[in-house]
């Protein structure tokens, strides 16, 4: 890891086989110059220098000058606000900020938990659904399906960071078979993954794979 950094430099800590792909997409949407530091699982992610950035020893993380953000959703939200000229979040006072927060937090909470639990074979007992935040995997899928069926993007009429963060979770699930290929999911994913920033991000991360230890 390199220590020298300028006051407003953007440094992106990632591994191409990680949720860092979400942040790469966001960075490409933002269009500001940034430097990538590729970290390896189990080794450079666990050094004292990196643990000072993310005590979880996980990627992605972002440093913007002296500011550090971790958690993919938080990084996307931070970037959208730090670079408002990219138009990737409704302004703070805008009424659309409420649905924007809704979908950002829905992705970080219910979607992430429902998919992870499903992948690990944990099924919420039906009589306990009222006490677990996401209710059930099916309820989460139905909620997001309705949201992406009725309009092009999750928030208002425009693509936002919520589409990057929530959309990537859906796209990843479709690619790896953890989410059912419902027509609404597929057309939404087709729409948002057609963005040039997504293609650039994918190309950059794919090219990094041979260089990154697994």
Stretch 32-51: interaction string toward ligand GSH, x if CB under 6 A: ---------x---x------
Strand partners, 61: 13, 70
DSSP structure string for 120-174: TT----GGGGGGSTT--HHHHHHHHHHHHHHSSSSSTTS--HHHHHHHHHHHHHH
163 contributes a contact to ligand GSH by CB under 6 A:
no
Nearer to ligand GSH by Cβ, of 19 and 64: the residue is: 19
16 contributes a contact to ligand GSH by CB under 6 A:
no
What is the four-CA torsion angle of 29, 95, 70, 166, rounded to 10 degrees? -60
172 contributes a contact to ligand GSH by CB under 6 A:
no
> Pick from 10, 11, 19, 197: which binds ligand GSH (CB under 6 A)?
19
Stretch of residues binding ligand GSH (CB under 6 A), selected from 57-65, 129-137, 138-146, 153-161: 57-65
Stretch of residues binding ligand GSH (CB under 6 A), selected from 55-63, 88-96, 117-125, 136-144: 55-63
Give residues with Cβ within 8 angstroms of 208, minimum separation 6. 16, 36, 38
Q: Of 84, 78, 139, 83, whose CA–CA distance to 106 is shortest?
A: 139
Nearer to ligand GSH by Cβ, of 48 and 196: the residue is: 48
71 contributes a contact to ligand GSH by CB under 6 A:
yes
Nearer to ligand GSH by Cβ, of 81 and 129: the residue is: 81
DSSP structure string for 17-78: SSTHHHHHHHHHHHT---EEEE--TTTGGGSHHHHTT-TT--S-EEEETTEEEESHHHHHHH
Using DSSP, state whether 11 is helix, strand or coil: strand
How many residues bind ligand GSH (CB under 6 A)? The answer is 10
Of residues 73-132, which lie at the interface with ligand GSH (CB under 6 A)? Answer: none
Shortest reach from residue 53's CB to ligand GSH, in Å = 12
List of residues contacting ligand GSH (CB under 6 A): 18-19, 41, 45, 57-60, 71-72
């Amino acid at each position: 890891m390199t220590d020298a950094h300028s006051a407003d430099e953007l440094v992106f800590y990632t591994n191409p086989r990680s949720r860092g792909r979400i942040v790469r997409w966001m960075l490409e949407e933002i269009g500001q110059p940034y430097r990538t530091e590729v970290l390896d699982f189990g080794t450079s992610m666990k050094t004292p220098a990196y643990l000072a950035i993310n005590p979880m020893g996980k990627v992605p993380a972002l440093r913007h000058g002296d500011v550090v953000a971790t958690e993919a959703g938080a990084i996307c939200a931070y970037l959208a606000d730090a670079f408002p000229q990219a138009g990737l979040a409704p302004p703070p006072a805008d009424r659309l900020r409420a649905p924007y927060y809704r979908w950002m937090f829905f992705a970080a909470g219910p979607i992430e938990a429902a998919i992870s639990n499903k992948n690990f074979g944990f099924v919420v007992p039906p009589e306990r659904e009222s006490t677990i935040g996401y209710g059930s995997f099916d309820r989460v899928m139905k909620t997001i399906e309705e949201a992406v069926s009725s309009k092009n993007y999750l928030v208002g009429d425009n693509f936002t960071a919520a589409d990057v963060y929530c959309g990537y979770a859906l796209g990843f699930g479709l690619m790896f078979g953890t989410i059912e290929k419902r027509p609404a999911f597929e057309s939404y994913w087709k729409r948002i993954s057609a963005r040039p920033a997504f293609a650039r991000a994918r190309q950059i991360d794919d090219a990094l794979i041979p260089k990154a230890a697994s």
